[in-house]
């Protein structure tokens, strides 16, 4: 964001901050005190004559212009350009001050409030030359009224004070401008970060929904289709077998419906609702076991309490691997092996099917940007989200082994959010 764009965006900025109000109040107080001192000096030490009343009137006009003009022609907020009304007011104040400077040298006492006001409100490119002109006028006025020997401080002191005032206020203005730009950049960066986090959240939720839909609906519909196709083949030749396939398809549809309802309520998988991982895997193997494809379950070791996310991920990966076995492998037998150690849990799904070139399939998936198929990518995502890894070993004619391994325990040795 450029400085011009930022200034354009601050036209509807909130009211000035307390620091600006305190500075304005200090300038008003200093002006009133110095103006009062100049009037007192005029009345006590000034020359007596017909012009004294006019000079006193000019002092009063000077003070009225200063005080009343602040309300009628307020200065610009930081980052804004001064209005025409404010510039006219400031010009009138300086014009009256110049006349007083000629008639009453004590008007030089009001220089500092004028100098601070010009620097504080005007653009730097205007304020700095104005400060130089005011300083020169003060020096000339001091030298003009000096009646004794030349005093170098009459030149040095105004120049030094004007230089310090200019440097301090210009430096403050630049710091404030940089601070505003920095705040604008931070606000913009925070907005971009929030948008990026929202986008990442949308993608993560979309990926989660895709995985759940694949595991719940796609696999269920695929199983129902295969069962109904088998029932159709046996409809005339073996009615009992056909009816058994239809019953199995009905049960599969019922389980899928229950899973969808639990998913809508954001609950754990149905198989884990009333038990732990081992009974769920054993029940899954029992449902998948049949005359056309035998599925067995083996347990190696004794699993302890597991985090719910790990149990759900292992179950879903196993379901996905068995769906691939059923649909693509042509295997006669598959075995689920759950291996439990103190620091790791591993599930292997092995089949004696036709196998495939695992390296070629993975390369094709990467070249397609992960858009080809959902089985393996979904399983890998689930394993990664559970803190584990997924490996696939296969070769044409040699079957396939899908292995998911998840380390257990946190760095402090605890088991996480175990059930």
Q: What is the pLDDT of residues 16-59, one digit of tens each?
A: 556 667 767 777 787 778 778 777 877 777 666 657 778 888 88
Query: For residue 338, what pLDDT band results from cuts at 50, 70 and 90?
Result: very high
How far apart, in whole angstroms, are the C-alpha atoms of residue 367 and residue 249? 36
Q: Does the pLDDT value for residue 408 go beyond 90?
A: no
How far apart, in whole angstroms, are the C-alpha atoms of residue 248 and residue 224? 8
Most confident of 84-98, 384-398, 405-419: 384-398
Query: Between these two residues, 400 and 146, which has the higher pLDDT value?
Result: 400
Complete edge-to-edge strand list for the sheet that includes strand 344-351: 294-300, 333-340, 344-351, 400-407, 389-394
Mean pLDDT for the stretch of residues 178-197: 85
Going by their DSSP bridges, the two strands 389-394 and 400-407 should be labelled as antiparallel
Q: Does the pLDDT value for residue 337 go beyond 90?
A: yes
Query: Between these two residues, 193 and 210, which has the higher pLDDT value?
Result: 193
Query: For residue 78, what pLDDT band results from cuts at 50, 70 and 90?
Result: low
CA dihedral 39, 42, 44, 50 (to 10 degrees): -120
DSSP state of 230: H
Judge whether 315 and 271 are in contact, CB under 8 Å: yes
Q: What was the pLDDT predicted at 411?
A: 38
How far apart, in whole angstroms, are the C-alpha atoms of residue 16 and residue 81? 14
Structure tokens at 63: 């003070």
Query: For residue 8, what pLDDT band results from cuts at 50, 70 and 90?
Result: very low
How far apart, in whole angstroms, are the C-alpha atoms of residue 157 and residue 121? 24
Q: What was the pLDDT predicted at 417?
A: 42
Q: What is the pLDDT of residues 108-139, one digit of tens each?
A: 777 766 666 656 667 777 777 877 887 788 77
Query: What angle do helix axes 308-324 and 375-385 make, rounded to 10 degrees?
Result: 160
Q: What was the pLDDT predicted at 261?
A: 63
- The ranges of the chain annotated as CATH 3.30.565.10 are 276-419
Domain 276-419: which CATH class? alpha beta
Mean pLDDT for the stretch of residues 319-338: 88
Q: What is the pLDDT of residues 224-278, one digit of tens each?
A: 787 788 888 888 888 888 888 888 888 877 777 766 666 655 555 666 766 789 9
Whole-number mean pLDDT of the chain? 76
User: Which helix (H) or strand (E) covers residue 278, if one does?
Assistant: helix 277-288
Q: What was the pLDDT predicted at 406?
A: 94
Judge whether 128 and 166 are in contact, CB under 8 Å: yes
């Amino acid at each position: 964001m450029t400085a011009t764009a930022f200034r354009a965006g601050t036209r509807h900025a909130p009211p000035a901050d307390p620091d600006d109000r305190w500075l304005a109040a200090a300038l008003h107080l200093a002006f009133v005190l110095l103006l009062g001192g100049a009037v007192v000096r005029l009345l006590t030490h000034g020359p007596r004559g017909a012009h004294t009343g006019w000079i006193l009137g000019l002092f009063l006009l000077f003070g009225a212009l200063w005080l009343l003009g602040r309300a009628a022609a307020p200065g610009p907020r930081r980052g804004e350009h001064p209005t025409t009304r404010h510039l006219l007011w400031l010009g009138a104040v300086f014009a009256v001050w110049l006349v007083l400077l000629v008639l009453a040298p004590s008007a030089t006492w009001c220089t500092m409030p004028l100098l601070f006001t010009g620097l504080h409100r005007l653009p730097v490119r205007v304020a700095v030359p104005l400060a130089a002109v005011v300083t020169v006028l003060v020096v000339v006025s001091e030298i003009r009224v000096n009646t004794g020997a030349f005093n170098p401080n009459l030149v040095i002191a105004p120049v030094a004070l004007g230089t310090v005032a200019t440097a301090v206020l210009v430096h403050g203005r630049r710091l404030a401008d940089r601070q505003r730009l920095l705040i604008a950049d931070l606000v913009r960066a925070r907005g971009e970060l929030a948008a990026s986090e929202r986008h990442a959240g949308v993608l993560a939720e979309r990926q989660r929904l895709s995985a759940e839909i694949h595991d719940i609906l796609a696999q269920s519909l695929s199983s129902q289709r295969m069962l109904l196709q088998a029932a159709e083949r046996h409809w005339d030749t073996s009615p009992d077998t056909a009816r058994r396939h239809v019953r199995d398809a009905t049960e599969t549809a019922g389980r899928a419906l229950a899973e969808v309802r639990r998913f809508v309520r954001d609950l754990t998988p149905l198989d884990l609702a009333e038990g732990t991982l081992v009974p769920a895997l054993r029940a899954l193997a029992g449902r998948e076991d049949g005359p056309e494809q035998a599925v067995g379950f083996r347990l190696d070791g004794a699993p302890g309490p597991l985090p719910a996310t790990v149990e759900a991920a292992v179950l879903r990966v196993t379901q996905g691997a068995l769906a691939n076995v059923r649909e693509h492998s042509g295997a006669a037998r598959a075995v689920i092996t759950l291996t439990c150690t103190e620091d790791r849990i591993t599930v292997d799904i092995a089949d004696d099917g036709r196998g495939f070139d695992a390296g070629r399939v993975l390369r094709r998936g990467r070249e397609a940007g992960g858009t080809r198929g959902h089985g393996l990518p979904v399983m890998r995502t689930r394993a990664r989200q559970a803190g584990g890894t997924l490996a696939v070993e296969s070769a044409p004619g040699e079957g396939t082994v899908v292995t998911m391994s998840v380390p257990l325990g946190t760095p402090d040795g605890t088991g996480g959010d175990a059930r």
